[in-house]
Amino acid sequence: MAKNIKILLIVPPNSLEERYGKLKFVGTMYPSMGLAAIGAIAEASGYPVKIIDCEALNYTYEDLEQKIKFLKPDVIGIQTFCNTINRALEIGKRVKKNIDPDIKIVLGGVQATLFPEEYIKNPFVDFIVTGEGEIIFKNLLDALENKQTDFAKIAGLAWKKNNKPVINQLEKLIENLDALPFPARHLFDLTKYFPSAQLRGKKTFHIITSRGCPFICGFCSCHKTFGRSYRFMSTKRVVEEIKYLIKNYQIDGLHFYDDTLTVNKPRIIELCNKMVAEKINLPWACFTRVDCVDEEVLKKMAKAGCYQIFYGVEAGNQRMLDVMNKGITIEQIKKAFKWTKKYKIEALASFILGVPTETLDDTRQSLEFAKEIKADFAHWEIYTPHPGTNLYKIALENGQLLTTDLNKYSPWSDEPVYVAHGRTVEELKKTKEWVYRKFYMRPLFILKRLRNLLRLPPSRIFKLIHSGLVMTFSK
């Protein structure tokens, strides 16, 4: 049954340059699966839904205002991360002041979930949806549709009663992910999106098949947002969605965007077997941890089409791994990379530069370790201390914040927002450029990569070469 209130979901203004700095040409631009999931639930419940991704569309605040005036929504839901929360608040302010004060502003996402008590006090915010938003947002829409004014029974919601903040009890995590509809990708202009430059396939889409993380890395807030309980879709449901993407969007590449795809060994083996049995001949990539793979798993993954795994290595010595509470060992990293390469899967390694107590010598060890494990790609990001993470307090005790402007808190930015004791901003920036040069500008490495580059679409080959030149010769 069609409902009356109109919904608009928004990704706030941002840019690839702000997110990735000098590596903007190899960065990823994917549609928000969070908003796609919210949109799917709302549509299934009969609500008319639109999505505006300001980042993908390159919209300014002024562009967004004009679009909102044209669409005349009753409810606006805005996705928030640490570096976009202030932009979300700016949108709320502009809507209430310049367009219509009666439009309901709803915040969701990581940052709003971590600090609902703080952001619900904002005069331009009406509601905050915490944690997994599908059920909470749907319940809120139903209440608004029925013109209710008391929202005390909606678990997971922060709201205002007589202008005073109210934080309801938490909503239970969604256990049956199979019950959720496919993400509403059709609400996005899919021509505006693209995968990371090193991924294969001219039309690669991403998919999320699980939620929650049983690990508690110090720099990450995932376990606080989606819980430590690892929940996953059935392999039948995953294969159905992949087939749907092939049929409706003609994809020729897949990117599993789960935080850690291989947490549950029987499940990933079953998924790989089912993909082979169903003749899903797609090249695919994923993220996982080195302690969540073994030879049996990697052999199955390779047979099912996996060609690339992005491992969170983070550091090249045990002391720094322990500082970050990574929960892995140097030996586990070595074994995982050896096994991965044995089955001809590309192994990527990410490292974090400038973590509290890290020294320049630690950074050098990370560089040498990346070479030792023969990473096919290595990525270094300058540490950004995100409020709400376990490492945040340690960071403040062992260094100083250079700014409190959360707009600058992108984890991939070239400009540090934090400097640990014994380091300087200039040294961090130069060190990042130095490790990239030392890792990528090796003759044998270049020859090997040139051979593999031929498997990529021409546009991505250009992006990789361009970014390599920028990182090598920039000042």
Could you report the per-residue pLDDT of 205-233, keeping only the tens digit for each?
Answer: 999 999 998 898 888 887 777 777 899 99
Q: Which two tokens stand for residue 280?
A: 């899903």
CB neighbours of residue 116 within 10 Å: 24
Phi, psi (degrees; rounded to nearest 5) at 380: -115, 130
CA angle 422/425/431 to nearest 5° reads: 85
Name all domains of the chain by residue range, CATH numbers in brackets: 7-167 (3.40.50.280), 195-473 (3.20.20.70)
Residue scoring higher pLDDT (474 or 12): 12
Non-local (6+) Cβ contacts of 209 within 8 A are: 177, 232, 233, 237, 238, 241, 256, 258, 261
* The pLDDT value given to residue 412: 78
User: Does an H or E element contain 272, and which?
Assistant: helix 265-277
The pLDDT, as a whole number, for residue 97 is: 98
Confidence band for 362, pLDDT divided at 50, 70 and 90: very high
So what's the pLDDT on residue 191?
A: 94
pLDDT of residue 61: 97
Residues 6+ apart with CB under 8 A from 205: 185, 245, 249, 251, 253, 254, 255
Write out pLDDT tens, residues 145-166. Answer: 999 999 999 999 999 999 999 9
What pLDDT score does 444 carry? 84
Q: What is the mean pLDDT of residues 58-76?
A: 98
In 3-state terms the chain splits into helix, strand, coil percentages (rounded to 5) of 45, 15, 40
Give the containing element (helix H, strand E) for 177.
none
> What is the average per-residue pLDDT within 271-284?
97
The span from the CA of 80 to the CA of 249, in Å, is 28
> Is the pLDDT reported for residue 168 higher than 90?
yes
Average of per-residue pLDDT across 396-424:
89
- Cα gap 56→58, rounded to integer Å: 6
User: In the predicted model, what is the mean pLDDT of residues 31-49?
Assistant: 98
Does residue 112 register a pLDDT over 70? yes
Q: Measured between alpha carbons, how far is 315 from 349 in angstroms, rounded to an integer? A: 10
| pLDDT at 29 (0 to 100) | 85
Helices (H), 278-405: 295-303, 318-323, 330-342, 360-372, 391-397
